[in-house]
Amino acid sequence: MTLHWTPATERLDLLAEPVARAVTHVEGVEVAEIDPDLADTAAFCERYGVRLDESANCVVVATKRGGETRYAACMVLATMRVDVNGVVRKHLDARKASFAPMADAVELTGMEYGGITPLGLPEEWPVLVDVHVAEHARVVIGSGVRRSKLAVSGATLAGLKQAEVLALAG
């Protein structure tokens, strides 16, 4: 099956509401409609012919320090794993770090699980972008919903206001 990419601003109906608001301020973002049953990275890549190293996942992390819970998003290529308890925990100066519970991630982002993306996240959340994502000319990411994907340059992700680029893999 072929992906039909179009400027995201022309198909806001394919995006979660916070993502639709965000893409109007970011250039070069494209969207393609997909089968929502194939939104998970491995199934999506296999069905649509996108290599895993061309696809990036957005992982929501919950950190704790002094009884306060804070959240962050981590962008890594689908071929990599985020070092949550090492790199992320230390970088965010947290006592404890873990993957955020699905219900919390969905509620706090206003996005569907399996479609969470850095575009449209709460402004106070840091977006940690792995160096391999930042170097990519074009990477496929979530759109906030399971029925579409976004294509964007790594430089665009690295240039988001709350983005920080670092080596996230352990």
Q: How many CB atoms lie within 10 A of CB 107?
A: 11
Average pLDDT value for residue range 110-118: 95
Tell me if 84 is assigned to some domain. Answer: yes
Q: Are 97 and 89 in contact (CB under 8 A)?
A: yes
Residue 170, pLDDT above cutoff 80: no
Confidence of residue 169 (pLDDT cuts 50, 70, 90): confident
Structure confidence by residue, pLDDT tens digits, 118-156: 999 999 999 999 999 999 999 999 999 999 999 999 999
Return the CATH number at 89. Answer: 3.90.960.10
Structure confidence by residue, pLDDT tens digits, 40-88: 999 999 999 999 999 999 999 999 988 899 999 999 999 999 999 999 9
Q: Are 69 and 60 in contact (CB under 8 A)?
A: no
Full residue range of the structural domain in which residue 75 is found = 6-166
Tell me if 34 is assigned to some domain. Answer: yes
Tell me if 17 is assigned to some domain. Answer: yes
Cα separation, 127 vs 158, in Å, equals 9
Tell me if 72 is assigned to some domain. Answer: yes
Per-residue model confidence (pLDDT) at position 141:
98
Domain count, the chain: 1
Cα separation, 96 vs 84, in Å, equals 9
**Residue type for position 95:** R
Q: Are 18 and 110 in contact (CB under 8 A)?
A: yes
Tell me if 1 is assigned to some domain. Answer: no
Tell me if 145 is assigned to some domain. Answer: yes
Structure confidence by residue, pLDDT tens digits, 5-39: 999 999 999 999 999 999 999 999 999 999 999 99
Average pLDDT value for residue range 88-116: 95
Per-residue model confidence (pLDDT) at position 2:
85
